[in-house]
Structure 1
Amino acid sequence: MVKVLMKGNEVIGEAAIQADCYYFFGYPITPQSELVAYMAKRLPEVGGVFLQAESEISAINMVYGAASAGVRVMTSSSSPGFSLKQEGISYLAGAELPAVIVNVGRGGPGLGNIQPAQSDYFQVTKGGGHGDYYTPVLAPSSLQEIAELTQEGFRIADQYRTPVIILGDGMLGQMMEPVDFDAVEKVDQVFAKEWATTGTKGDGGPKTITSLDLNDVLLEERNHRLQAKYQEIRDKEVKVICHYEEEADWFVVAYGTVGRIVQSAVEKAREEGVNVGLIRPVSLWPFPHETISGFSETSSHILVVEMSAGQMVEDVRLAVEGKAPVSFYGRNGGVIPSVGEILEQIMKIDAGVTVR
């Protein structure tokens, strides 16, 4: 086992290459610019193609073109730049094209700042562009998990012919941790892509890929097919990690960077005799509704912690369905909640003090 000390943005790039992604189109924006720089250096070394587009909009449309040819392809950005990609992501979803899109989130709204935030949750989980579509969203909490979920992202993209989003934040992108790439299960390109536009190769003849259906009946049929696919993803691709679920009286729910901070707070609280557990959604869409709903039936309380003004908390409340009180604690604008302040919230709730 050999571990390599790397920055989070670089881990994403190396994990993508090890997933046989040799095509990357991007545009620099802090705090994910190191990913663009890493791919600019590494892809020529492995015979891949790197292109810095003139804008985020150009980059996502280049992804559309490469995905249409059947290759594994990636792009990345940070919050304001990710917003510019939304029309292209909608096109990818409508045309049923596989791709992995990375968002290393930062504080907003507007230009905001370059500090970490989780205020893009609504955008990535509710279909940030136009039309009825969803994108699977994976939220790692460590650099080792980044490597694992990047592989998983390409598997989901290929299997379901859909764009997949890896959602991190400025802290994950900039921090350094040792990563064992040998421990990551490699996901080969095993899904046939007869639909790819490879010219007249083979017996299939030329093909057309588009999200345009001027016939309303045909477009409705396309939407029905998409919704059936999204239901299959809901049924098969929910990912959630729970701690102390067998013994906890109540739970804290958090994802990504905040999930690992909350885990430290939960462990400290348990040392103080508080019987609390942690639910960490790894797939933000599909969201682990059933898991949270099940635990809420026997929980005395649910606390949601986010680096936002409160976004995932809405999905938690929908899952709980009033079966337990739900509280929220958030920091936003790029402020990272500390273990101490989360622990304070946990102790207040356990003592019966009302928190919002």
Structure 2
Amino acid sequence: MRFKIMGWQLAPTALLALCALSVQAQTVRLTMSHFLGPQSFFQVDLLEPWARELERKTGGRVQVDVLNASSPLGNVRKQASQVKDGVVDIALGLRGAEGDRFSRSSIVELPFVVTDAGSGSKALWKLFQDGVIADEYRDFKVLALFVHNPGLIHTKATLVTELADLKGLRLRVPNATVAAALKHVGAVPKLLQPDEIIPALRTNQLDGIVTNWGTPIAGFNDEMTRHTAVPFYASAFFIVMNKARYESLPSDIRRAVDELSGDALVAQFGPLWNKWDQPFQQGAQAPGRVVLRPDTALLQRWRSGLQPVSDAHLAKLESLGFKSARQVYEQLLTPSGGG
């Protein structure tokens, strides 16, 4: 049998080849969302360059629309849900804002586990690659998992030296893991999103913030005058893609996505967070500011004082089915394990 198209006769094999070329020539539009603003470091230094590089690698056959917090799809609590439901194709999200989702990944958020974003991100990614936490991401195509440089104690007026100095302080926290640690030492944790923090500080509802240097909080250095450089925690983040959408893409486009993700993408977060930290660290050196860098003995007192918090969290993870939680935690604390 032969087919006529616009006056030409084509054999079935030629028709199939023509259809395949037509499909491959179609533009693939992908939507990628995140929860910070259009001028944020996530958009300017990470997601926009990633999107443009994917477009370049596919010869323009892929176009990526990056959506931020200014869009209806920028809710920090819904990034993973939007991907799973197919509302967006790809999202960067904050684990701690997703409720009980990705609970095993919270193991890297415990005190003193992460010493820097580079090694911490590689350690979290290795837990995924080794299958330790992979099951909780089974509904997604995972492009990257990462952490920031350690979160510190930042206050308006009180210099925190010992753990006891935290008692009674009202501090913003990013997730329940950090909240549990602060409650343990008598502080008053308040779970607020980035856009809620400065108003709370200015209306005297907060005494400080527990966060990393490279923070998206506008006005951070205007409000914070005391900084205690203890590796109190690290937040876990994810970049995930809708699995069905990924699998529907032509093989060469899937290959381009893979080449820009995984190990190659995770390796960027150490240098990126160091870059993002720099202006805030410099601002903390201004007159009237104090940065306390604890010595080994003081750090050990903090570590010992917070160990019950880690133990309780590990027990909770074990009760939820993460039977190897303590073993994984101890491995993370070794230099080669990411801590």
- What TM-score does the superposition give when structure 1 sets the normalisation length? 0.29
Q: Larger radius of gyration, structure 1 or 2?
A: 2
More helix by share: 2
> Bigger relative contact order, structure 1 or 2, given CA contacts below 8 A and separation 6+?
2
- What TM-score does the superposition give when structure 2 sets the normalisation length? 0.30
